[in-house]
Amino acid sequence: MSLKSLNNTQRSAVEEVNGPVLIFAGAGSGKTRVLTHKMYHLIKEEHYKPENILSVTFTNKAAREMKNRVLDLLKTDELDITIGTFHSVCAKLLRKEAKHLKVSNYFAIYDVQDQLDLLKVILKELNITKEQLTPNTARNRISYFKNKMISPKEQLSKARTGIEKNIAEIYAKYQKELISNDALDFDDLLLYPLELFENNPKILLKYQKQWRYILVDEYQDTNRPQFHFLTKLSEKHRQICVVGDDDQSIYGWRGADVRNILDFEKFYPSCKVFTLEKNYRSTQQILDAATAVVTHNDKRAKKNLSAQNGDGEKLGLIETRDELEEADAIISALEKEIKINKRTFSQFAVLYRTNAQSRPLEDSFRKTGIPYNIIGSIRFYDRKEVKDVLAYLRLVINLKDTISLRRIINFPARGIGMKTMDKCVMRSQDDGIELFEVLKKAKELPIRGKQSESLIDFYKLIKKYHALRNKLSASELSRSLIEETGIINQYKQSSDLEDKERYENIAELLNSIDEFSIKKPSSSLSEFLEEVSLLSDIDHWNDSDNRVTLMTVHSSKGLEFPVVFLSGLDDGLFPLYQAIEEKSELEEERRLFYVALTRAQERVFLLYSTNRRRMGGENVVGMPSRFIGEIPADYLDRIEFQSALTRRVVGGPKNKVTKVTVMRTVTTFDDFKVGDIVEHSIFGVGKIMVLSGSGENQRVGVIFKDGTKKKLIVKYANLTKIN
């Protein structure tokens, strides 16, 4: 296969394989295409063995997409190439080299909730109250130190105030407890390889020889540990290619350093630089508006994006009275787009700055019956019942995991309370043995006989499956264990609707383990747990569902949609108040706005409110975001939204106004009866099958011609009788 499908700059970047390469890839300029073709070129033309190539990115979704594309290019079903996220690559490396570390190859990976649970225990032991320091604040500070590669000892030496000394002490104890739990957190996954390389030069040399060529996606989002990881691996061959866009560096709050990409030439003076400026996603109007905003930043590489999809329409700008009217305005514009341009729900995305902004949007979508997916709500694997089952599985794999042990010791209920656990912990400390091993000595503890029997039974149960962990498949072990615990029957037999949902979630979890076992027959339960722990919100997003997508701008990174609504563009909300006074933070907010606009392929709507309810219930008079003011007026179409029922579209220059009035017809309440044929602006013609309530609360159940079934509130549904 040739590289004829690439443009000249893309092809030059792909064919440059001698020494370091830096590729500035503007939004929608085909960076994934370049990376995958480069891997193809390295294998086919430069005779690199697949196992000698390492490709890292930031999401599992991107890694899967990249691998599938390479497989397609090479026309093969399997490829021994390492393509994954930084965390997954490092986790696998650490398990292989565990004998050189303080943890076993079965180490647990603690997510945010696990970290908080551990910190709660530590704060309690240190007699630090929530008023003095919350577990979340402690976690954030510890993560900050790790991202800056500051050890507990270093931080303690720097501490000057009482609170700083407390945090340093907590940090030290936290790291000690992680080791005793045979666990690592996400930051440790990046730090431990550096420690491994530093203490074992032969291991570093082994991986330098293995990964002779390194490719990095989204390089602008790398933090200090990731930078050092890549530098160490590439210092022998200096065959590294990084791709990124400094204008899309939006993760400074979690340690990403845009200087890594801007200063790449300083670290690799001999590097070749390519800039991809042909955009294959958005229209020129969208690109020019986005560029006009981001050019207000000082720290950026100059690039001029040229759209291959024509000029397109201007960006719609809508002023609303409050967040409720803002949601109505989005629904109204969405309906018009569906009618005029025959769009499907999946072609729309509503983006916002913070998760809290989703509530009025969700309310409006539910009321009008429009299906939606929300990214950033409780992940499937973060649901309580799912985490409970996962905790059982994690403890079976790793008997030192006290956080999982504490979570499930009384689930299902065994009559084991906090006081009993405190006695177990004290015995563990006094005897210098693992907390889990204390359980088999329960009869020696000062507790009631029934409680001691429960502890011993629990010990035997976990021990039994621990012995079977390498003898049974992940699927067999999981199903047998969960059945024996009685968890699934407890929920199945309950008449509570929430319990029914919990049962279904556990059943779905077991199904996912079945699928994992079928897909990877030789893989262990430990590998399944690792895969789950490294998933992000966006990895669960299914773009094949015909639903409107609601998400934060951060979550939208790397995605694209024909139509994007960017809501909540009030100054102080986007950009956030706390970012306005700090230049570097304001620049990151501006890059975030740039990312939001460049998710759109064809159409963008910008919305702000003159009055918005903020945290605490107070109403705040709003001003349009300063970023709107940085867009030249020629790129904007002002849309005056008057109410949920009427709107006027105002276009053209400000001194030359044209008005078009669009009326939304609403049938009077109580006009409907079962059997009526009605028309909905989105779903089309349907028949009322069920009717309930009256007045403003009247609800109808409708079956539409395409088979779609909807329960709608008449007040909001905008139904018209047609018989």
DSSP state of 313: P
Q: Give the pLDDT confidence of 281-315 residue by residue, as tens digits.
A: 999 999 999 999 999 999 888 888 999 989 999 99
Q: Which residues, other chains included, contact 604 with Cβ-Cβ below 8 Å and sequence gap of 6+?
A: 286, 289, 315, 316, 563, 564, 565, 566, 597
Provide the pLDDT for residue 616: 43
For residue 367, name the pLDDT band (cuts at 50, 70, 90): confident
* pLDDT band per the 50, 70, 90 thresholds, residue 541: low
Q: Is 70 left (phi over 0), alpha (psi -120 to 50) or beta?
A: alpha
Q: Give the residue among 389, 369, 387 at the shortest CA–CA distance from 378.
A: 387
Which residues have C-beta within 8 Å of that of residue 202, sequence separation ≥ 6?
none
**Which tens digit of pLDDT belongs to each residue from 552-597?**
999 998 899 999 999 999 998 999 888 888 898 999 999 999 999 9
pLDDT for residue 480: 93
Residue ranges in 211-322 assigned as alpha helix (H) = 224-234, 259-262, 264-267, 284-294
Q: At what angle do helices 224-234 and 201-210 cross, to 10 degrees?
A: 80
At 692 the pLDDT is 67
Q: Does the pLDDT value for residue 72 go beyond 60?
A: yes
Provide, rounded to the nearest whole percent, the portion of the chain with pLDDT above 90: 53
Dump pLDDT digits (tens) for 381-437: 778 898 999 999 999 999 999 999 999 999 998 888 888 988 999 899 888 899 999
- Tokens 């700090």 locate to 582
452 versus 366: which is more confidently predicted? 452
* Residue ranges in 539-684 assigned as alpha helix (H): 577-580, 583-597, 626-629
Instruction: Kindly report, residue by residue over 353-366, the tens digit of the pLDDT.
Output: 988 788 888 888 88
Q: Residue 45 carries which DSSP code?
A: T
Whether the upstream peptide bond of residue 446 has omega within 30° of 0, thus cis, is no
Look at residues 721, 717, 685, 720 and name the one whose alpha carbon lies nearest to residue 368: 717
3-state DSSP call for residue 466?
helix
Report the phi/psi class of residue 424: left, alpha or beta, with left for phi > 0 and alpha for psi in -120 to 50.
alpha
Report strand pairing: 21-25 vs 306-307.
unpaired
Q: Is 24 strand, coil or helix?
A: strand
Of residues 110 and 613, more confidently modeled? 110
pLDDT band at 255 (very low <50, low <70, confident <90, very high): confident
The full 3-state SS of 333-388, as one line of letters, equals: HHHHHHHHHCCCHHHEEEEECCHHHHHHHHHHHHHHCCCEEECCCCCHHHCHHHHH
Give this prediction's pTM. Answer: 0.77
Q: For the chain, what is the mean pLDDT? A: 86
Task: Quote the CA–CA distance of 412 and 466 in Å, as a whole number.
Answer: 19
Hey, is 222 helix, strand or coil?
Answer: coil
Q: What is the mean pLDDT of residues 26-36?
A: 92
Distance CA 715, CA 367 (A): 9
The C-alpha atoms of residue 474 and residue 397 are separated, in whole angstroms, by 11
**Residue-wise pLDDT tens digits, 650-682:** 333 444 333 333 333 334 445 777 778 888 877
Active site residues: 31-32, 217-218, 248, 599
